Chain A
């Protein structure tokens, strides 16, 4: 885990965005009004004005030439900040679900060295059907995090190094595969309860079609089963 150094750790914010023109401006402005952290919006080949609005709001934009999905976009931001020698990266959704006010609570365990990764959890926000999906994913993967699909996370340097590796590039989603990758590296993951809002615009990339949900569940369950860590279970909760 990262110990507190004499210099304050460099913190960057990564926001993967696909067609989030309705919300991205507000998300970036809200973050900038409260924190001084550089914000990178990774534009996953949006067909709307997401890039321009994010730029106008004061974020730096990394435009992907082809659509890589939420995780591919997030990994791009992580690789960018690693290249700039940042110590900590915050990831959050572009749809305005995650409240910037919750950021200190997520950052604190990382900066104190009590965790390598913190995950903003808000199980009350999801439907019963999604809770059932989570239960199935947790059963096959052995993961014990509260909210395994939350994109509101903070990673320390060790976790960033793991996630920037080419082996983490093939993940399609940032949930089970990414968490199991971190677990395999013996990193400490903590759930941090946070408040979440309704989406400002756009919609879930997964939970909008039964066909996509079916494919997602099948892939995630098999991935969890294949990468499940034998013998031990992930713990941790604040």
Chain B
């Protein structure tokens, strides 16, 4: 039963992802990942023997746990990738803030120099 629920959730998520991409709420780069995950969920749900077969090979007594473990692994990797991407964006943002400060300081200095030149 759990695998059928998994399949239903997978289909629901896949539909939601497509809708979000369609409405420009989700970047296609992220959408591809989530769509892939959703389709994989749905696929596993519709083909329980695949999970049973894999679980038997790997020696897992309760096959749905294998699907859960795979899901958790994928999510952990995704979160790690998100943190890496956030660090990259943070560097970009900090350097942009620094650049604005440098430009603002230079501009103030130039205005001050021009004022002094015009007075003399």
Chain B contributes a number of interface residues (CB within 8 A of A) equal to 16
Complex contacts, B95 vs chain A, CB 8 Å = 166, 169
Give the secondary structure class of A's interface.
Answer: mixed
Interface check B101, CB cutoff 8 A: yes
Contacting pair A76 B108 (CB below 8 A): no
Complex contacts, A68 vs chain B, CB 8 Å = 94, 97-98
Interface check A21, CB cutoff 8 A: no
Complex contacts, A5 vs chain B, CB 8 Å = none
Q: Which of A40, A61, A79 contacts B98 (CB 8 A)?
A: A79
Nearest-neighbour CB distance to chain B for A72, whole angstroms, equals 6
Contacting pair B102 A79 (CB below 8 A): yes
Contacting pair A80 B108 (CB below 8 A): no
Q: Mark each residue of chain A from 52 to 70: 1 if its CB lies under 8 Å from any CB of chain B, else 0.
A: 0000000011111110100
Interface check B15, CB cutoff 8 A: no
Contacting pair A80 B100 (CB below 8 A): no
Nearest-neighbour CB distance to chain A for B77, whole angstroms, equals 20
Contacting pair B102 A76 (CB below 8 A): yes
Nearest-neighbour CB distance to chain B for A166, whole angstroms, equals 5
Contacting pair A62 B94 (CB below 8 A): no
Q: A76-B102, A166-B91, A170-B91 are in contact. Are A64 and B97 (CB under 8 A)?
A: yes
Interface check A83, CB cutoff 8 A: yes
Contacting pair A64 B105 (CB below 8 A): no
Q: A65-B100, A170-B87 are in contact. Are A40 and B105 (CB under 8 A)?
A: yes
Taking CB atoms and an 8 Å cut-off, the chain A residues in 128-159 that contact chain B are none
Nearest-neighbour CB distance to chain B for A27, whole angstroms, equals 18
Contacting pair B91 A169 (CB below 8 A): yes
Interface check B90, CB cutoff 8 A: yes
Complex contacts, A64 vs chain B, CB 8 Å = 97-98, 101
Interface check A75, CB cutoff 8 A: yes
Interface check A28, CB cutoff 8 A: no
Interface check B16, CB cutoff 8 A: no
Complex contacts, B104 vs chain A, CB 8 Å = 62-63
Contacting pair B90 A170 (CB below 8 A): yes
Contacting pair A72 B94 (CB below 8 A): yes
Interface check B71, CB cutoff 8 A: no
Interface residues in chain A, defined as those with a beta carbon under 8 Å from any beta carbon in chain B: 40, 42, 60-66, 68, 72, 75-76, 79-80, 83, 166, 169-170
Complex A-B: 19 CB contacts under 8 Å: A40-B105, A60-B105, A60-B108, A62-B101, A62-B104, A63-B104, A65-B97, A65-B100, A65-B101, A72-B94, A72-B97, A76-B98, A76-B101, A79-B99, A79-B102, A166-B91, A166-B95, A169-B94, A170-B94
